[in-house]
Amino acid sequence: MKSISIVILTAVLMTIPAAAQDKAKAGTHESTIVSRWIAAWNSHDVEKLIPLFTPDLTYEDVAFAQTSHGPAELRKFIAAEFDSSPDLHVELVNSYIQGGHGVLQWIFSGTDKTMFKTGKKFSVRGVSIVTVKNGKISRNIDYYDVATLMKQVGLLPSENSAPKN
């Protein structure tokens, strides 16, 4: 009886490292999607971003109330982003993805060419909430403060130029 308990205990203990390795692999897989997402945005190549998403993707830009469904609509949205800011840069601040759900905190910067047509530089913080399925993003929702962006490009008064009461 004692030898059976030892065998069972040994079998259980041997499965723990395997489970931990599976979890570590999943974490690595999820962190890989984050690094590929950032690199693809910074490449300014639409075709590097599209493969990171599932065919049934939904990509939502909350600040501009724009939602893209599927690769064709996403391709059009991304191309417009690259056109609106030719020097677009995304800097990863922090990210957390686990169990297929996560958040990427980033800084989006560049020069406004066609968004508001000001030719001025901007830098705005934001987050993307993502759903990951089979190593690809199926849902991406971006939140950022467009008022801050508009202040930086001169379309809204900054705090320093606001009228005093």
- Does any domain span residue 121? yes
Q: How many domains does the chain have?
A: 1
Measured between alpha carbons, how far is 1 from 118 in angstroms, rounded to an integer?
A: 80
What value does the mean pLDDT take over residues 129-146? 97
Q: Give the pLDDT confidence score for residue 160 in this predicted structure.
A: 73
* Mean residue pLDDT across the chain: 86
CB atoms within 10 A of CB 59: 24
For residue range 140-150, list pLDDT tens digits in order: 999 999 999 99
- Does any domain span residue 163? no
For residue 142, which of 107, 117, 110, 97 has the smallest C-alpha distance? 107
- Does any domain span residue 165? no
For residue range 7-20, list pLDDT tens digits in order: 443 444 444 444 44
What b/e string do you get for 65-80 counting C-beta neighbours within 10 Å, with b at 16 or more? Answer: eeebeebeebeebbee
pLDDT at 125 over 90: yes
- Does any domain span residue 164? no
Q: What is the DSSP letter of 51?
A: G
- Does any domain span residue 114? yes
- Does any domain span residue 148? yes
Query: Which two structure tokens, joined as six digits, stand for 88?
Result: 């677009």
Residue 114 phi, psi (nearest 5):
-120, -10
**Strands 53-61 vs 121-133: parallel, antiparallel or unpaired:** unpaired
For residue range 18-52, list pLDDT tens digits in order: 444 433 344 446 779 999 999 999 999 999 999 99
- Does any domain span residue 113? yes
CATH number at residue 95: 3.10.450.50
Measured between alpha carbons, how far is 65 from 52 in angstroms, rounded to an integer?
A: 22
Residue 59 structural domain? 2-156
**Is residue 57 very low, low, confident or very high in pLDDT (cuts 50, 70, 90)?**
very high
- Does any domain span residue 161? no
